[in-house]
Amino acid sequence: MKINEIFYSMQGEGSWVGLPNIFIRTTGCNLRCSFCDTTYAYIHGVEMDVKEVVDEIQKYLCNYVCITGGEPLLQEETVELLDVLLQKKYVVCVETNGSINIEKLVGKKSLMISLDIKCPSSTMHDKMNFDNLSQLSCNDQLKFVINNKVDYEYAKKIMKKYKPQCIIFFQPVWGTDPKKLSSWILHDGLHVRIGLQLHKMIWGNTKGV
């Protein structure tokens, strides 16, 4: 499989925020979001087999692994890697962009699926696979990255239509004012959490954190 980077850092997003994690970033993405902060993962990477990836992460004193991208589900070996990690008693999160069916991930113990639904300002909202929303459980999470009121209303509409049974995060696009989004959430009394990308607050918007 093609790997862009493997690194050890603080989880900055979602329900594991603040926990040390090992990150495995796969190469390649089928989307081109307007706000993408990992364009460096579109092409660059090195070929590694599953054993080499596992050997590499065993160097770290950490039991939590986040497989991210790019888009991890584009590579067949991702599920094989995931199964090996789960057998080795790692607790794993797979971050996926919402365009690919997540069927192969469902029902695995010690796995959290972190699914994105892209909003209109991403320009990728018409690429989403909404069948995924009914496959999420209370152990999983759903993330909407929100740039403006149009995105916010869109996310609300999707929640109302599909009623996902998981933790939901509204994450302001990095660099936008989180106060506005927070006030909209409070005004509407939404049962969602705001996510502020802790890793960027600590280390800045840079690679390898």
Task: Give the footprint of ligand SF4 on this chain (CB under 6 A).
Answer: 29, 31-33, 36, 38, 69-71, 97
Q: Are 11 and 19 in contact (CB under 8 A)?
A: yes
- Closer to ligand SF4 by Cβ: residue 91 or 173: 173
Q: How far is the CB of 192 from ligand SF4 (least distance, A)?
A: 20
Q: State the Cα–Cα distance between residues 70 and 29, nearest whole angstrom.
A: 4
Give the orientation angle of helix 77-87 with respect to helix 50-57, to 10 degrees.
Answer: 40
- Closer to ligand SF4 by Cβ: residue 36 or 190: 36
- Closer to ligand SF4 by Cβ: residue 81 or 115: 115
Give me the residue label for tokens 């972190």.
114
Side-chain half-sphere of 98: how many Cα atoms within 13 Å? 21
The β-bridge relationship of strands 46-47 and 2-10 is antiparallel
Q: How far is the CB of 37 from ligand SF4 (least distance, A)?
A: 7
Q: How far is the CB of 185 from ligand SF4 (least distance, A)?
A: 22
Q: How far is the CB of 29 from ligand SF4 (least distance, A)?
A: 3
- Closer to ligand SF4 by Cβ: residue 54 or 142: 142
Q: What angle do CA 72, 75, 76 make, to 5 degrees?
A: 120
208's tokens:
């390898």
Which is nearest to 72 in space by CA: 45, 92, 100? 100
Q: How far is the CB of 183 from ligand SF4 (least distance, A)?
A: 26
The β-bridge relationship of strands 91-96 and 193-194 is unpaired
- Closer to ligand SF4 by Cβ: residue 54 or 124: 124
